[in-house]
Structure 1
Amino acid sequence: MVFSTRAGGVSVSPHDSFNLGDHVGDDPAAVAANRTRLAGVLGLDPADVVWMEQIHSNTVTVVEAAQDGPVAATDALVTTQRGLALAVLVADCVPVLLADHVNGVVAAAHAGRMGARNGIVAKTVETMIGLGAAPANIQVLLGPAASGRHYEVPAGMAADVEKHLPGSRTRTAAGTWGIDVRAGLVRQLLGLGVTNIEADPRCTIEDTDFYSYRREGTTGRQAGLVWLTGH
């Protein structure tokens, strides 16, 4: 399980420099070079990294082989295939990496406000269990994302997300209503019997080591990757 930052790539402003998103207006050649560099650092074949066409849905897709292009219209990937790396792109949304190494099932999920509200992570866990994973064996890592301190939303939106993802509504540093998606996801995962959870506390809105859509508007995407080693 790894997360990238925005440093170490070839993209130029406003996508500087390690942008891995191919849908944000960056030079496709730069994105391809960055993705190749990422795979090389991790000891992976770039062809074995599976990307998603993320649409803020709660759709989960099981993949069994390398793909020719991103998996269409999905926000979570699950696999039992060793050596196949699953990638999630974010710039404030929560990248969620899940792995049951005992039973050989891994997953990557894109948990933005809407996806998290609509159960993308719960559906991912359900799909993993269907492939043989056990909740007690699933390790979860929640990556850098917008924190409740800075993720300000209208009161009605905060209440709506809280209704569907309890534990997510909070107050920002400014005292306004906000959402802490990671806090809500931790509570949800615990309710599903998944207790081995780690959350990176870094906030993409305030930490300039990361891309942030809220802070910058036009910007790049960092990634989280998970895979089962060996073939």
Structure 2
Amino acid sequence: MAAPGEEPRLSLRLAAFERAFDELNAAYFDGRLDRPVITVSPTPSAYGHFTPWRSWASGEDAFHEINLGAETIGRPVAEVMATLLHEMVHLHCHEQGIKDTSRGGTYHNGRFRIEAEKRGLVIAYDKRIGWSLTSPGDSLLLMARQGAFKKVEGELRELHRLGRPAAASAAKRPSSTRKYTCPRCGMSVRATRAVRVKCVECDEELTCDLP
């Protein structure tokens, strides 16, 4: 459980990521992206992820999620911003109807590389996950040097400090992750709450493999 006053501080720090999102949105997408819910939580197998379904709701509004891995936000600020921008490219592709991944969102194809390299990222290839390996390009590094992320840099250090015990305690709790699988092609995704997900390729609703 968070110490008294810790949750408000955490909310303020997450607000810094929202401001960073706005900076990147203005610089690379002309401010057109819808703002998602931005979260920081343990994701041992990835630096971050984007949910193509709207997994958060507030009243009648629903939102996508961009998550940044709690274990990885201690990296230099330009590298963390590259991860945020990587996930923003997924959001852009989703909004524009560009199929940028396959294999349940794990394999990044050439269309993702093209969109990412238009927007301040350097993308390298990995045979398992495709054009996914991401590092900051010159324009993103320049933004960092000019102080565009000065506020979030301090918040990153504090979030990384706060996230260590949270990550350790999370490892002790039973997992709440659910696996959803397409009954036709076998494509699968994971979610931390009950959702309805559809395979676009097969036009089939995914079934939940775990309670």
The TM-score, its normalising length taken from structure 2, stands at 0.31
Return the structure number with greater relative CO, CA threshold 8 A, min gap 6.
Answer: 1
Relative to total residues, which structure has the larger helix share, 1 or 2?
2
The structure carrying a bigger strand percent of its residues is 2
Instruction: Using structure 1 for the length normalisation, give the TM-score.
Output: 0.29
